[in-house]
Amino acid sequence: MDKHSSEHKGAGTIKTGTVDKTPADGLTRRDALFAGAASFAFGSLGLAAGAHAAPSAKPTGQAILGFSQEVTVLHPLMAASEVDQGVWWNLFSPLWMLDAEGKFVPVLAKAVPTVENGGISADGLTWRVELRRDVKWHDGKPLTSEDIRYTINLVKNPGFRAANRSGFNLITSVGVDGDHVVTWTLKEPYSPLTSMLSWAFIVPEHVLSKNPDPNSPQFAAAPIGTGPFRFVSRKTGDHVLLEANPNYFGKGPSLNRLIFKYVPDLNAMYTQFKTGEIDYIGLQGIPANFYKEATALAGRRIQLAARPGVENLTLNLAHPVLSDKAVRKALNIAIDRQSICNLVYYGVPKPANNFLAPTHWAAHPNLPKPEYDLKKAAAMLDQAGWVKGPDGIRVKNGVRLSFSNSTTTGNQLRAQTQQLIADDFKKIGVEMLIKNLVAAVLWADFWRNSEFDSLMTSVTYTIASDPDVTNRFGSGSIPKETGSGANVGRYKNVGVDTLLARARQEYNIAKRKEIYAKIQELINEDVPILPLFCEVNIEGTKAGLDGYVNNVNVRANSWNTANWRWTA
C-alpha cells in the first residue's frame, strides 16, 4: 500500500545554480548530530546525504502526513492550531527561524540581525534586515522589502484578526531601502522580537493589498507563499494537498506532493500508519498504549518527539490554601512523578521540574531534581502549622487543607493521574477533590477568571519558543486583574517581574540565558505550578522516508519537509 511510487505528476525541474546559502545548509550537519544522538541516525544521515547530493533532481513521489487535528487556517498570521503551522512551514517562509538546536538561522533574510553584526543598533531600537534576492512568490513575482513592510503593518492593523501582536505593537514605523532592505524602529528595546519574527510568515503585498478587507477569506482559500510547496487544493474534513514549488529558493523539495491528512480518531490513525496508508504520523501521534507495539513494527521508524508543553498542575495562588507557599512546596514533593510516567503514560515521558522543556535553549541545566518524599512533605505541613483534623484532613486557623483539581473531561490518562495524586495527597492529610469540565467550559470564564483551585493541563509557556514568560508569570498578565495575559494562576513576584523586564531589553543571547536561569530558580522556589512531565509525542515515519527531524521550537514537525525524501 506504499504510495510514494504511485505519483509522479510533473512539476518542473528545480533551478539551484543561482542560490547561495539555504536554510537547509544551515541545518544539515547539526541536524545530523542531533538526530544521531536521538537514535534515528539512519534517517538523518539520509537527510545529510540528500542535502549534498544531486540537489537538482526532479521532485518525485508523495508523502501522506497524518494528523488528528484538521488543518483549518491557511492565513499564516491568524489565530490557528499547531497543525496549521505545520502546513505554513511548507507554504510560507519567515525571515529566519529557530532550528532544532535552538539557533537562529536565516530564511528569507540574508542574516539574522544582532547588535554584534550591526543589524540591530546599539540602543536596540533600530533594526535593519537585508533580504535574499532570489526569492519568488508562487505566482512568479519577486519577494521585495514591501512584502515585509506589509506583513508587519498587517499584524499591527487593528482591523486584522491577528493571533498575537506581541512585539509588533512596539514597532513604531517600518521603512524600506530599495527592494531588498527593510528597516524598523521600536518604542523600546525588545529582544523577544527575534523569536516572534521567526514565527511571522511573510505574506505577499501584491496579492493582499488589493483587497480592502484585511480579513477577506479569499487569501486563505488559495494562499500564495514563498515556501517549498505550493497550494493545490483542500477538502475540508479530509486533506490539504500541496505540490513542489519548482522555484523554491532553498534546497529541495525532493517530494513532488505533500498531503496533510486529517484522521480524527487516534486508533484509526495508528491503524492507517500500520497498514501504510499514511507515511508519517504526526500530532497527536501514536497513543502511548501502542508505543511498545509500534517500536516492533517492521518497516516503520518510531521517534519520541519532545514537545515544548509541560503537563502540570497550575495552582490558583489566590486560593486560601494554595496561597501558602509551605503547602505548595509540600505538595510538590508529594507527587510520584516517576510512577505517573511509568504506570499511566507507559514510560514514554520523563518527570519534569521546570516550565521549560530541557531541550529548550534557555532551560536551566541544574534545577533541583523533583523529589518524592511523603514523610518530608508531612513534616513540612506540620511545621507550617497544618494539623490533622478528625476526618484526617489538616486544618489551620479553621481552614481545611482541601482544594479541587480540574481538567477536561474525556481524557482517561489525566483522570488516572488525578487519582494517583489525590491518593498520595490524602496520605499527608490533604484533600484534592476532582472536578472535571468539558473543554468548552474549562477554556472559558473558568480559566480566564481564575475560577479554578488548580488545573491539570499541558502548557507551552513560551511564545514562538521565546523564554520571555511575562505572559504566563508576569504580575501584569493576570486576566482577572488586568484584562490581558495568561497568568491565570495569579503568580506575583516583583523580583521575577524585574528580571523579565531586564531580559526583554537584553539582546545578547548568553546574557539573556543567565537572566532566565535566575528567573527559573525564583519560580522553582515559589512553586506556582507543580510540573509533572514534559510532553512527548510518539511520531513515526515509514522506514524509507528520510529527513524527519524533531524540532521543539516549532509547533509541528512538518517544518522541514523540503528535506524529506524517499530512499527506499
Partner 1 sequence: MGSYLLRRLLQSLLLLALVSMIAFAILHLAPGGPLSQFLATGNMGQEDVDRLMQQYGLNRPLPIQYLEWAGNLATGDWGHSYRDQLPVLTKIGMHVGPTLELMVTSTLLAMFIGGLIGILGAVRRHSFFDHLATVGAMVALSIPTFWFGLAIIYVFSVNLGWLPAGNRENIGDGSFLDRLRHLVLPCIVLALVSTAVWSRYMRSSMLDVVNQDYIRTARSKGVPAMRILFHHALRNALLPMITITGLHVSTLLSGALVTETVFTWPGMGRLFLDSVSNRDYPVVMGMLMFTACMVLLGSLIADLLYSVADPRIKGASK
**Residues contributing to the site for partner 1 (CB under 8 A):** 1, 3, 6-7, 9, 62, 64, 70-75, 79, 81-82, 159, 161-165, 215, 217, 220-221, 234-239, 241, 257, 259, 261-265, 267-268, 271-272, 274-275, 277, 309, 438-441, 443-444, 447-448, 457, 459-461, 463-464, 471, 477, 479, 483-486
Q: Compare residues 62 and 145 and give the one whose CB is closer to partner 1.
A: 62
Q: Compare residues 64 and 98 and give the one whose CB is closer to partner 1.
A: 64
* Counts of helices then strands in the chain (DSSP H, E): 19, 20
Residue 31, C-alpha cell as written in the block? 541536524
| Min separation Cβ 441 and partner 1, Å | 4
Q: Compare residues 199 and 386 and give the one whose CB is closer to partner 1.
A: 199
Q: Compare residues 95 and 263 and give the one whose CB is closer to partner 1.
A: 263
Which residue, 119, 448, 180, is CA-closest to 316? 448
C-alpha distances (whole Å) from 336 to each of 283, 296, 339, 350, 425 are 27, 29, 6, 12, 10
| Min separation Cβ 293 and partner 1, Å | 12
Residue 237, C-alpha cell as written in the block? 474534513
Between CA 529 and CA 549 the distance in angstroms is 31
Q: Compare residues 39 and 236 and give the one whose CB is closer to partner 1.
A: 236
Q: Tell me which H or E stretch contains 470.
A: helix 470-473
| Min separation Cβ 319 and partner 1, Å | 20
Residue 87 one-letter amino acid: V
What φ, ψ does residue 65 adopt, rounded to 5°?
-100, 120
| Min separation Cβ 262 and partner 1, Å | 8
Which residue, 496, 458, 489, is CA-closest to 474? 496
Q: Compare residues 241 and 384 and give the one whose CB is closer to partner 1.
A: 241
Which residue, 428, 470, 437, 189, is CA-closest to 327? 428
| Min separation Cβ 217 and partner 1, Å | 4
Q: Compare residues 7 and 130 and give the one whose CB is closer to partner 1.
A: 7
* Residue recorded with cell 502540570: 312
| Min separation Cβ 501 and partner 1, Å | 17
Q: Compare residues 179 and 293 and give the one whose CB is closer to partner 1.
A: 293
32-40 CB contacts, 8 Å cutoff, 24+ apart: 34/100, 34/101, 34/549, 35/549, 38/303, 38/550, 40/301, 40/303, 40/548
Residue 271 one-letter amino acid: T
Alpha-helical segments (H) within 291-409: 291-295, 325-332, 337-339, 374-383
| Min separation Cβ 239 and partner 1, Å | 6
Which residue, 441, 498, 473, is CA-closest to 312? 473
| Min separation Cβ 9 and partner 1, Å | 8
Look at strands 402-406 and 431-434 and give their pairing: parallel
Which residue, 283, 288, 315, is CA-closest to 432? 315
| Min separation Cβ 210 and partner 1, Å | 17
Between CA 464 and CA 76 the distance in angstroms is 13
Q: Compare residues 175 and 410 and give the one whose CB is closer to partner 1.
A: 410
